[in-house]
Every structure is written in structure tokens, then in C-alpha cells.
Amino acid sequence: MVVVMDGRASAEQVEAVIMRLEECGFSAHPIYGVRRIVIGAVGDRRVLNSLGLETMPGVERVVPIMKPYKLVSREAREENTVVQVGHVAIGGSQLAVIAGPCAVESRDQLLAAAHMVQQAGAAILRGGAFKPRTSPYSFQGLGEKGLKLLAEAARQTGLATVTEVVDEHSLELAVEYVDMLQVGARNMQNFRLLQMVGRSGKPVLLKRGLSATVEEWLMAAEYIMSEGNGQIVLCERGIRTFEHSTRNTLDLSAVPLVKSLSHLPVIVDPSHATGDRRLVGPMARAAVAAGADGLLIEVHPEPTQALCDGPQSLTPSQFVSLMEELRAVAAAVGRAA
Amino acid sequence: MVVVMDGRASAEQVEAVIMRLEECGFSAHPIYGVRRIVIGAVGDRRVLNSLGLETMPGVERVVPIMKPYKLVSREAREENTVVQVGHVAIGGSQLAVIAGPCAVESRDQLLAAAHMVQQAGAAILRGGAFKPRTSPYSFQGLGEKGLKLLAEAARQTGLATVTEVVDEHSLELAVEYVDMLQVGARNMQNFRLLQMVGRSGKPVLLKRGLSATVEEWLMAAEYIMSEGNGQIVLCERGIRTFEHSTRNTLDLSAVPLVKSLSHLPVIVDPSHATGDRRLVGPMARAAVAAGADGLLIEVHPEPTQALCDGPQSLTPSQFVSLMEELRAVAAAVGRAA
Amino acid sequence: MVVVMDGRASAEQVEAVIMRLEECGFSAHPIYGVRRIVIGAVGDRRVLNSLGLETMPGVERVVPIMKPYKLVSREAREENTVVQVGHVAIGGSQLAVIAGPCAVESRDQLLAAAHMVQQAGAAILRGGAFKPRTSPYSFQGLGEKGLKLLAEAARQTGLATVTEVVDEHSLELAVEYVDMLQVGARNMQNFRLLQMVGRSGKPVLLKRGLSATVEEWLMAAEYIMSEGNGQIVLCERGIRTFEHSTRNTLDLSAVPLVKSLSHLPVIVDPSHATGDRRLVGPMARAAVAAGADGLLIEVHPEPTQALCDGPQSLTPSQFVSLMEELRAVAAAVGRAA
Amino acid sequence: MVVVMDGRASAEQVEAVIMRLEECGFSAHPIYGVRRIVIGAVGDRRVLNSLGLETMPGVERVVPIMKPYKLVSREAREENTVVQVGHVAIGGSQLAVIAGPCAVESRDQLLAAAHMVQQAGAAILRGGAFKPRTSPYSFQGLGEKGLKLLAEAARQTGLATVTEVVDEHSLELAVEYVDMLQVGARNMQNFRLLQMVGRSGKPVLLKRGLSATVEEWLMAAEYIMSEGNGQIVLCERGIRTFEHSTRNTLDLSAVPLVKSLSHLPVIVDPSHATGDRRLVGPMARAAVAAGADGLLIEVHPEPTQALCDGPQSLTPSQFVSLMEELRAVAAAVGRAA
């Protein structure tokens, strides 16, 4: 870390900072510039916040040098992590497509969706049984009944499954029925939930929060991994910006960036990012070209009847076409799909 | 709601939308413009999302007219709600100042803070026992021990108390020891937690999420109120923007705006918003001038030694000075402090 | 447009709005809902702002229905516009790659860059002679001398050329030497400059402003086109968001969105968007997969010596590799490159 | 500046960076940490961008320590600058209120506004003669005729005057008729215009751009001051964020922040920031409480008839009430109004 002293800091103030650093186990290296003194400090970034340096007289600001995450960083592990979800590998040479409806609504709906996405080439079935909704008056999911339907769909189709968990109760149920647990964007900094999925031992799909920086997103993964669970797939799903002509702004540059900072696989959810099915196809193709390890795509047998997120769900025939397009783009960037 | 048809929509497509609206209990009022047909629809906004209109052929977009919240709206209740926290009223003519350290760290620290803020004129003591921290390696709070210290500080000083809850466990403990429950910014859309505090019957301090719109913030309050608990105080604490020279951007215009949309009291947290103690005083004064019903201010007996958020905590003498300034500004806008 | 009346608006207030609309040439269609009256109004959106409806008693808000742009809209012209820059067509089946250094720095530098990008397959040479820099102390460009070097490079290589203009003076010079005029992101709402390039008759490369909505961007193009110049290429170059780990956030979903709203070609600048050469390749590939009509890429013979934007400039060998990758992705989405 | 080397950088790469720094006149101070080498560099920040350090092999990133602005900084001048506009001082103990219509529309309108704001206690009259409008179809201002009306209003009332300039032509006219030149938000990085107003010798009102950081805003002021003109008043007018329930988000914390970083006066425009006259009063009071040196407020004799920005303009009686409220708040923070 580097401590920048104010231009008017006294020699005593500089000395006090150096002493504070040294009493906390850092080595201090002052550099005397023309208008500023800066103090380089070598030690453990993780205790930096408890040093209180910013509050010491004469300190202008503190600049951290090391990243705050450790286990999830590329420095901790050079090779890519491949996450195993049932028989499906995410993070290897094969593009992994997760598809299905936003919410499990009925047996007919889910089984129709499952068979269709399986035939089109998807590897994992998604479907929400516990839905975190902005309004208390919206459909909140089928709960355990939904999980049972997911398990039935998996048996019939051979697909692996993923579903969102929102608290201890839903987590305890979900581990019985599905192959992978999803932590949703609004819970990305629900640290208790992160610790619980960390202890569950199940693979985790960790969505980026609407306004989470890349660093905060990796710190959320660090929470999971520090509980002993390194089976984490990161999912970019759009961030909140001033632009409201799409629901969110898909930050595709996060894909190559995160892959350079971390060894974890990264997939992309173009459905929630855009909120508009006409944009899902182009953004899915773009994600693959940018190097994403997989996609999360909403598909509904009859989007017009969907209880949730109909406008962004693809119809079955749109999904079939998209899978063909994706195979071509994947091949162009040296990947199987 | 208003359904805007595409310029090229056919008569059959217009008819299909009208039929869909009517079969769902809406009355439909088409208006034939020069280049667009728009259909006004009268009915219950809360079922709007399940109509699937955006996905129907020929529909360009759907514009909601009614607000999605109901119980918390000014239309549901004309007069201001006054929330009673112990013997303290928030939302009346008296400005309510909540003060104390970010985290409860020790008996000495908390009792020193409590006596000091009480003497300076604060009405409620704050202090975190369960801390949601960005890093798993940061101090996570004293848990129940911290709650017991809050209760002891309350007995000694007569202050009411508020603390943050993060899950079922912390909630069950907190209701035994404190007068008010805080839902933090990162949990503003943790809907299970909102429902739980709604059922607790305790007054709730609901912080605005870092990237929550005013509408989403009011919907979070609606979650609490739809569980039967209307004792809610809203707290503006800064939103996330491109500007990084302050930690967040304090959105003070939300104060008069929310007070026009809702009957609930609104307070302001200038400490988390700015992250810099030099800005806390000016922003606290500004909040009172803008019409805030109270303030949430971090004060620490020795900020340099704080385990959390030292840079934004006021020293005792700074807090005493600020309280005097606030009394002058409050008087200027017709309020006691 | 739709006028939403306040829930407590009186019959007289409703009547006054209807009269105001009719005296301004609109036809008014009131719809009486349970808790709101809304008034549909048919007429010219472009005079809407001067009606003053929002300020009339009893009006809650005014919702525009029509888009404010006209000439650039897809409704005004169904088929794609193809912009001709010298012998190069932008917007047709061939991907158009514009490449070159951020700034023209010297004859050696520009000619080296020009020959290199031409051999690698670029169609247009870029190079700034008038540089709008954040700091008055940074290199401001070579001016007319830079333009002469661009013209010389064009003669030697057969490349078409584009350069940024910043005011009347630079525009008058640039039209003599280059094939296409660029309006930079910081000037996207410099309306006088837009009118001037509109009257110049030259093809225009219009960059999206850092914080411009898609609608404002199209309105800037409308300024140019309303002066009689429809030879406009739109360029997405990243928007400003809270995320600072990349310089800007590349909004690739704007590509398919704008192409649905407008007939104008859209290209992408991954260099300025990311500010980091390691991300330029993945984002360039993604842009092509998303349907962009072209790319704008910074290449410098020796990025380490660049006077401007070195960190985001590709080296010659990186650019050669990228062009090969782009050919594969372009083919996968049915495009020549 | 501090150069952070990659964890895997070789000794040769470190050496190359040190040599590059030294050949450019910097002194280099390497610090050897456990996992990183960082190199402190002492020298002129203003040439930093042309060093190309980020592009050198083994460099992870470069952290600037010094601010990029110089003349406008508080370090360059300890005492507050007071800007003299006609007989009005901005930046002293007296709050300066600038008021008037968005646009000069007619002689009757402007003279009515001028007399009214003068009687209510405003010191400076505003009115736009050259209007930068988002749409080419909106009212663009009266041009020189508007300037003449401003001059006539000044003669009749004794008010000083300010008007916006947008290019060389409007600037040349405006210097003949008004006391202060305004650079609008959309032109804050129109560097040619900044240089021109810098050379004009007139006091300048510099609005913050919609998405300008505080640092960029101060760099825009540096452009003006580096041309020899230090008579600059900064105006916070709201920034663009995800929140759309107000037109912009008024960043009041920028007031105390900028006053700590710079010696220039800072005023606030609550009218453009909120876009809603109901919020103008609370935000004007808050601005004064936060320490603003003045206010810029839109007032129109008949807002319903305004050709521009009617919804945010105060009526005469609202303005009279607001001035009384402001006097009370100003007194509470030790200021005359």
C-alpha cells in the first residue's frame, strides 16, 4: 500500500504514520517528492482497513496496491478451474449452455421446456422455484414442488439442473434436488448466503450484482471459496447504468477481464441483461466471441403466457436457431458448442 | 397502463391485444394517432407483469401509469407517519439524530460513545453487532455480545437503540435487545429478510440500496408493510455513480421526492454516503435544510483505532460542534433539534 | 403523447389540459380510470416541449409516445444506409475496419502505421490532427501538418482517411485533406459542430458521448441529417459507468438496438472503450458477432513511444493476428472481412 | 507516481522501467514487497501520460499521486478567489443569487422577469440567447436580439447579467452585451470554447458536465485559467446516474469537496439538476447549508407559456418565498443573503 501525505504534513505527522505502520507489522519506505511525501508500506493488505491510516493527521489518502482477493485470483492458481455440474464441465473447451424458463410454473411447462432445450443442445436446465421479486404482489415461485419438477425433468432428459437459492430454508431443500445452486444478482452481497453455499459443497453459479464492481464480485466469490468450496462459475448479467433503453447494460468486457484476474469460469446471461428477446441472440453470439465459457438463456414454451420475464424469453424455435448460430461462432474462436 | 403498438401493426394484432386485455379484466381504450395506435387500459397494475403484452406481435412497448406500491404511498395515507422508537418519535417536528460507532467493538468503546452522543443531544444509539463486510477477512462483529452491550448502554444513558440484522438468526437475537432493526443497503432487496422484519413488529430502519431506484426502495418498504408492519423509516445513504472522489453520491433530492410520494419518514446518513469525515458536517446540514426527518451519523471515541469505517467517523468534539450547527439550520427551516 | 393527471385533479383541471392540447392542434382522448385520468393526445411530438403541460395544475406527468427523431429512424427508411467513404462502403456485407494511431505524431510514425494496417486488411486510416485532451498540458495535435501527412499516407497506400474535427477552423482544413470527418465523444452534443459537419457534405463518423443515451445519440445524428447530410456512421465507444476497472463500459447491446431503431450503419471502437490493449481483441470479435458494420481500432508502430493512448494501442503484430480472428468471426455471422 | 509491477515481472523489466523513468527526468525509488515490486517516481505529473509506462512489459498499472490540475488548486492559492461580476462579488460572505428565465423569449417576458427577480433580491439576471437543444426542432434562442434585451434589462434594473456562449460567433457578440459568460454542461469539454472564454477576459460561469468527474471539471477550469483568466465560478448542476425519477442527481457533496480542492467559488443550479420545480426550493436551501457561494435559479413570469424548461421554472411568488427561506438558512450558516 502507498500512503500519500498532504503537501503541508509536518515531519512529526510523517513520523507518526511510519510508527503506526511498523507497530502493525508493515515495513515503511518513505519517498520524498517535490510537493508530496509518499510512504510505501509492505505487509498484509487484508489488515489495511483496520489500520485507520486515512484518519491520521497529515494523511491525504491511502492507495492499495494488492488485490483484496486471494483464493480466487489467477496468482493463486495459474490454470483454469473447470467446474463439474453433474456430467457437465464448465470452463473447458466445450461451451456450456444453460437454458430454461425463468420460473418453474407447472409440470407441463417445465417438461416441455426441458425436452426442447435438451434436443437443441443445451447441457443444463434452469428454472426458479424461489423467486426474489421486486414486488410482494408478484408470483414468488412454487417452492419445493418446483424443485421436484426440476428433478423429474432431469431424470427424463439427462440434463443437469440449476436453481436459485435465497435463504437457509431454500438452500436446504435445493441441495436435495438439483446439481448447482444459483446466487442471484440481488443477493451477491448477502454474505450469510454466500457462506452457506460455500459450506454446501455444491457447485455455485454466482451472478454479478447490478451495481457490483468486478472487484466486489470476485470478493463475493472469495467468501464462498474461503468456506472451502472452489466450484464457482461467475455469471455476468448486466449492470445498472444511466441507459434505460435496455434493462441493464451487458458488460462483456468483464469476461476477458475476469478471466485474466481469476481462474474461475465466466458465463453470460444475455436474457436478464437486455430484457428484450430481440437482443438476446446478438448478445449471446457476442459473449461467445468474447471468450465466455457458457451462456444462461431464458426459453419458454409459450413466452406470452409466462408468469415472469416473458419479454426476454426466447421461443423454442428461436432457441434452436440461436444454438446453430452459436456453434458457428464458437468454432470461429476455437471452441466446441 | 398504455400499450403502444408498432407503426406497422396490423388490425388483427391491435384486436388481439384488446382481447387479451379484456379477458384479463381490463377495459381497453384504443386511440388512433397518425403514426401509432396506442391502447389505454384500465385495471390493476399489479397483475400487469403477468399479462405478457410486450411479447405479443405488433406491440412496441407498454407504459405503466400507476405506481407499483400502494400501502406506503402518499395516496394511501395523506398525513405523515410518525415512527415511535422507544420514547423517540421520528417524522414529527423534532429532528431525530441517531449516532454511534459503525461497529460495537468493546464495552469501553461503546459506553464512551453512548454517553458522549447522549450528552451532545442524540436520541438514538447505533452500533453494529452483525457486520456485512465486503471481505471475508474483515471484522464481522461481536454478535450477541455486542447486542448485550447496546442494551447496557441504553440502560445507562436512556438512549433508544438500533442495530443491523442480516438473517433469521441475528433478527431473533436483536429483537430481544434493541428498539429498532436496521436493514442495510446490501440487503435492501433481500426479500426474505424484508418479510421477516415485517413480521417482527419492531420499527425498521430501511436503507436505500447502492443502486436502488426510488421506486425499488419504496417497493422494499411495501414488502415490509404488506406483512403488517408500517413502522418504517427510510434512510438515504448515497447511491453508486461514476464519481469516485466520494465513496457514494448522496442523493439529497430523494428526501423531498420520497416525502411527496410516501407518508413514511426519511432520514439521511452522510457518513456512509461520503466516506470522508470532512464532508459529513456540510452534508448533515444540507440534509436538514432539504427536509430530512433525522440523521444517522457515525461517531467514534477514537476514530484512528476504529475496526470499521474510521475515515468517516466524527470525533466526539466534531460531533458536539455539528449538533450545534444542526440546531441552527433546523430552526431556520422551522424544526426543533 | 399521454398526459397522466394527478389522482386528485379536478374536472376543471382536466378540462384545461384538454383545451390547451386542442388549441395547439392536438386531438385529445381522455380515459377515465379507477384512480387516474389519462389523456391521450395525437399530434406532433416535436412541439411537445413547448406546450408546458407538465406545469399545468393537476398534471402528474407527460409520457411521450413517439420517438423524437425522424430522418434517422428506421421508419423513415426501411433499408440500410450504406455510407461511401472514398472507395469504401460502410454498412454493406463487407466489414469495414478503420485503423491507425490515436494521433498523427510524425511522418515516419504515420506512414509506418498506414502501410502496416493496409497490408493487414484495414480499409480506412485514422489519425488525429486536432486532439481534444482533458489536460491543457497534453499534446494537442499537429494541426494542418498532420492532415497533410494523412493525405500523403492515403496516396501511398490507397487507404481512405478519417480525422476528428473540433471547430470551424479544423473543419475547414479537414475537408480539404480527408475522406471522412469524425465528431468525437466529447463533442457529440456540440450542436454547432454537428450543424457544420451536416453542411459540409462529407461522410461523418459520429461517436456516442460518454454519457449519451441511445436516444440522444440518434438526436445528434438527426442534427446532422436535418442539414441535408445523411452520410452518417454511428460509433459506439463505451459509456461511463460506476465500473472503473475498464476505462469505459462498452455497450455492445447498442449495436443491435440502434440497427433496429435506425437505418444508419453502426461501428464499434473497442480501443477507447476498454483503454487496455489486452481487451481490444475479445471486444473486437464480440462487436462483429453482435452485428457491427465495422471497427475503429488504434494501432501504433511503437505503442511505448505513443504521445497519446499508448496503453490501448495494438502493436502491428497484434493487429495482424486480430484481423485473422475477425475474418473467422465475420464468416460465422455471414459477413465478409 | 507509483508504478506497480506485475507479480511475475523479471528483474530486467523492473530495470527497464527505472531507466525509462530516469531518462525522462524522474527519480525512481523501488520498493520490494513480498509479492510485488512498486516503483515510486518523483517528477512532473503533467508529462506522465507521454511516458508510455503502462505499455512496458511487466507493468501492472500506474497510480498517479499528484492532481493533474495546478493553477485552480487550493495548493496554488490558499485564500478563496472572489469573482467580480459587474458590481456583484461571488465567493465572499454574501450569497449570490442568479435568476431569470431559461431562454430570452421576448421583451415583455424578460423585463417582467428582471424586475421581479431584482425586487426579490437576486443579484444577477440570467437568460439564454443561444440555446444548445437536444433536438434540432426545438427553439434555438433569439441570438443577438436576446443579448440586446439582456442589456436593456440590466440598464433598467441594475442587475448584472450572464448568458451562455456556444461558439466563437456567440462569444464575440456576448462580450459586448453581458457581464459574465456561461459555458454549459454539454460544452464543458469543448476545449476550444474553454480556450476562447479564457482569452476573453470576462468572468466565466463553468457548469459541470453531466458525466464529468470532479477532476475533469477542475481540468476544464484549468484550461480557462491557463489562458490567463482566473475569474471562474464553478456550477454544480446535477450528474447523470441510473436514477431517473429526477432529471439528474444533484451532487451536493461536490460543493464542500471542490472548495477543499480549489480556491474557486462554487454555486449550485437546483433547477436543471432536478427538472421539477417542487424540488427546487428544498435543494436550494440544502445547497446554501452545504456551503455554496450562490445559486442559479430558473424563474419565469408564466412557466406554463415558457418555450424551454417550464416544468422546472419557479413562478414569481414561489421565487419570493424561496428568497426568504434562503435568507434564514444563510444566516444559520453564517452568511448574508
- D58 SS3 class: coil
**ipTM for the complex shown:** 0.94
Q: Which residue has the higher pLDDT, A132 or B271?
A: B271
| Cβ atoms of residues B164 and B140 within 8 Å | no
CA B262 to chain centre: 12
What nine digits make up the cell of C318?
497484434
Give me the sign of the Cα torsion angle A250, A251, A256, A260: negative
Per DSSP, A26 falls in state -
Best to test chain D binding among A8, A66, A257 (most D CBs inside 10 Å):
A66
Which of A256, A273, A333 is nearest residue C329 as measured by Cβ atoms?
A333
How much of chain C, in percent, has pLDDT values that exceed 70? 98
CATH code 3.20.20.70 region(s) in chain C: 83-332
D174-229 pLDDT, tens digit per residue, is 999 999 999 999 999 999 999 999 999 999 999 999 999 999 999 999 999 999 99
- B209 SS3 class: coil
Per DSSP, C165 falls in state -
CATH H superfamily, domain D2-63: Phospho-2-dehydro-3-deoxyheptonate aldolase; domain 1 (3.30.70.1140)
- How confident is the model at residue C195, as a pLDDT? 96
Please report, for residues B87, C86, C174, D168, the alpha-carbon distance to residue B145 in angstroms, rounded to integers and kept in the order given.
24, 76, 73, 69
Cβ–Cβ contact B287 with D under 8 A: yes
Highest mean pLDDT pick, A74-78, C92-96, D44-48: C92-96
CB atoms within 10 A of CB A260: 11
D254-269 pLDDT, tens digit per residue, is 999 999 999 999 999 9
* For range C307-334, the mean pLDDT: 92
The span from the CA of C319 to the CA of C148, in Å, is 25
Q: How far is D11 from chain B (nearest CA, A)?
A: 32
Cβ–Cβ contact C325 with A under 8 A: yes
CATH H superfamily, domain B83-332: Aldolase class I (3.20.20.70)
- A294 SS3 class: strand
- How confident is the model at residue C192, as a pLDDT? 95
Neighbours of chain B (3+ CB pairs under 8 A): A, C, D
Confidence band (pLDDT; 50, 70, 90) for A139?
Answer: confident
The span from the CA of C54 to the CA of C59, in Å, is 6
C46: pLDDT strictly greater than 80 = no
Asked if B40 lies within 8 A of C38 by C-beta distance, the reply is yes
**Chain A residue numbers touching C290 (CB-CB < 8 A):** 282-283, 285-286
Across the strands, what pairs with C90? C83
Q: Give the least confident one: A302-311, B46-55, B291-300, D307-316.
A: B46-55
C101-133 pLDDT, tens digit per residue, is 999 999 999 999 999 999 999 999 999 999 988
Nearby residues of B283 by Cβ (< 8 Å), 6 or more positions away? B250, B252, B268, B270, B273, B274, D252, D253, D256, D290
Cβ–Cβ contact C333 with B under 8 A: no
CB atoms within 10 A of CB C104: 29
- How confident is the model at residue C291, as a pLDDT? 98
| Cβ atoms of residues C164 and C132 within 8 Å | yes
- How confident is the model at residue A138, as a pLDDT? 84
Q: Which residue of A has its CA nearest to B310?
A: A52
CA D29 to chain centre: 38
Burial class of residue A50, CB neighbours in 10 A (0-12, 13-18, 19+):
middle
Q: Which residue has the higher pLDDT, C217 or C9?
A: C217
The span from the CA of D249 to the CA of D237, in Å, is 8
Burial class of residue D94, CB neighbours in 10 A (0-12, 13-18, 19+):
middle
**Chain A residue numbers touching C277 (CB-CB < 8 A):** none
Secondary structure E strands in chain A: 2-5, 27-32, 37-42, 59-63, 83-85, 88-90, 96-100, 124-126, 160-164, 180-183, 204-207, 232-236, 266-268, 294-298
| Cβ atoms of residues B44 and B58 within 8 Å | no
Q: How far is A212 from chain D (nearest CA, A)?
A: 14
What nine digits make up the cell of C315?
502493436
Residue with cell 476550444: D192
Please report, for residues A240, A249, B2, the alpha-carbon distance to residue A244 in angstroms, rounded to integers and kept in the order given.
9, 9, 18
**Chain B residue numbers touching A223 (CB-CB < 8 A):** 136
> Phi, psi (5° rounding) for residue C333?
-110, 20
- How confident is the model at residue B49, as a pLDDT? 62
Q: How far is B257 from chain C (nearest CA, A)?
A: 13
A4-58 pLDDT, tens digit per residue, is 898 889 999 999 999 988 888 888 988 887 778 889 888 876 666 667 788 788 8
Which of B253, B329, B332 is nearest residue D249 as measured by Cβ atoms?
B253
3-state secondary structure A183-237: ECHHHCCCHHHHHHHHHHCCCEEEECCCCCCHHHHHHHHHHHHCCCCCCEEEEEC
Cβ–Cβ contact A46 with B under 8 A: yes
Cβ–Cβ contact A24 with B under 8 A: no
Secondary structure E strands in chain B: 2-5, 27-32, 37-42, 59-63, 83-85, 88-90, 96-100, 124-126, 160-164, 180-183, 204-207, 232-236, 266-268, 294-298
Across the strands, what pairs with C205? C182, C233
What nine digits make up the cell of D115?
424586475
The whole-chain average pLDDT of chain D stands at 93
A143-201 pLDDT, tens digit per residue, is 999 999 999 999 999 999 999 999 999 999 999 999 999 999 999 999 999 999 999 99
- How confident is the model at residue A163, as a pLDDT? 98
The span from the CA of A183 to the CA of A194, in Å, is 8
Cβ–Cβ contact B16 with A under 8 A: no
Q: Which residue has the higher pLDDT, A229 or C55?
A: A229
D297-306 pLDDT, tens digit per residue, is 999 998 877 7
- How confident is the model at residue A231, as a pLDDT? 98
Which of A2, A31, A66 is nearest residue D42 as measured by Cβ atoms?
A31
One-letter amino acid at A102 equals: C
Asked if D55 lies within 8 A of C190 by C-beta distance, the reply is no
Please report, for residues A47, B87, C235, C287, C292, the alpha-carbon distance to residue C326 in angstroms, rounded to integers and kept in the order given.
46, 69, 18, 10, 12
Asked if D331 lies within 8 A of B331 by C-beta distance, the reply is no
CB atoms within 10 A of CB A320: 16
Confidence band (pLDDT; 50, 70, 90) for D24?
Answer: confident
Which of A249, A257, A291 is nearest residue C245 as measured by Cβ atoms?
A257
Neighbours of chain A (3+ CB pairs under 8 A): B, C, D
Cβ–Cβ contact D278 with C under 8 A: no
The span from the CA of C182 to the CA of C197, in Å, is 9
Q: How far is B57 from chain A (nearest CA, A)?
A: 10
Four-point Cα dihedral B122, B123, B127, B130, nearest 10:
-150
* For range A299-316, the mean pLDDT: 83
Asked if C253 lies within 8 A of A288 by C-beta distance, the reply is no
- C125 SS3 class: strand
- How confident is the model at residue A320, as a pLDDT? 97
The span from the CA of B165 to the CA of A43, in Å, is 33
- D82 SS3 class: coil
- How confident is the model at residue B56, as a pLDDT? 84
Q: How far is B27 from chain A (nearest CA, A)?
A: 20
Nearby residues of B12 by Cβ (< 8 Å), 6 or more positions away? none
Which of D245, D278, D328 is nearest residue B214 as measured by Cβ atoms?
D245
Q: Which residue of A has its CA nearest to C275?
A: A253
Give the residues of chain B that fall short of pLDDT 50: none
A215-251 pLDDT, tens digit per residue, is 999 999 999 999 999 999 999 999 999 999 999 999 9
| Cβ atoms of residues C181 and C197 within 8 Å | yes
The whole-chain average pLDDT of chain C stands at 93
Q: Which residue of B has its CA nearest to A312?
A: B55
Cβ-Cβ contacts under 8 Å between A and C: the total is 123
CB atoms within 10 A of CB D278: 13
| Cβ atoms of residues D113 and D298 within 8 Å | no
One-letter amino acid at A26 equals: F
- How confident is the model at residue A84, as a pLDDT? 98
What is the pairing mode between strands C124-126 and C204-207?
unpaired
Residues comprising chain C, all counted: 337
Nearby residues of D240 by Cβ (< 8 Å), 6 or more positions away? A242, C211, D210, D211, D248, D249
Q: Give the least confident one: A50-59, A87-96, A100-109, B199-208.
A: A50-59
C310: pLDDT strictly greater than 90 = no
Tell me which residues of chain C, numbers 225 to 254, contact chain B at a CB-CB cutoff of 8 Å.
240-242, 244
Across the strands, what pairs with B90? B83
| Cβ atoms of residues D310 and D303 within 8 Å | yes
Cβ–Cβ contact C13 with D under 8 A: no
Cβ–Cβ contact D68 with B under 8 A: no
CATH code 3.30.70.1140 region(s) in chain D: 2-63
